[in-house]
A and B are shown apart, each in its own frame.
Chain A
Amino acid sequence: MTLEQPTKSCSELRRAQPVFRGLEAGHRACQGCGQALAARLVTEAIGPDVLIANATGCLEVFTTAWPQSAWRVPWLHSVFANTAAVASGMEAALKAQKRNTKVVAFGGDGGTFDIGLQALSGMLERNHNVLYVCFDNEAYMNTGVQRSSSTPHAAETTTSPPGRERAGKRHLKKDLVTIIAAHRIPYAATATVAYPSDLRKKVRRGLQVEGAAFIVVHSPCPLGWGHENALGIEVARLAVQTGLYPMIELERGELVGAMPIREVHPVTDYLRLQDRFKHLFADDPRAREELEHLQELANHNIEVYGLRAQKPDRFDSEGADTVRRGGMRTA
Chain B
Amino acid sequence: MRLNYPTDIRIVRVPCTGKVDLLHLLRAFEKGADGVCVVGCMEGDCHFNSGNLRARKRVEQAQAILDTIGIGGQRVQMYNLSSGEGTLFAQYATEMHTRIIELGPNPIRAGQREAA
Same complex for A and B? Answer: no
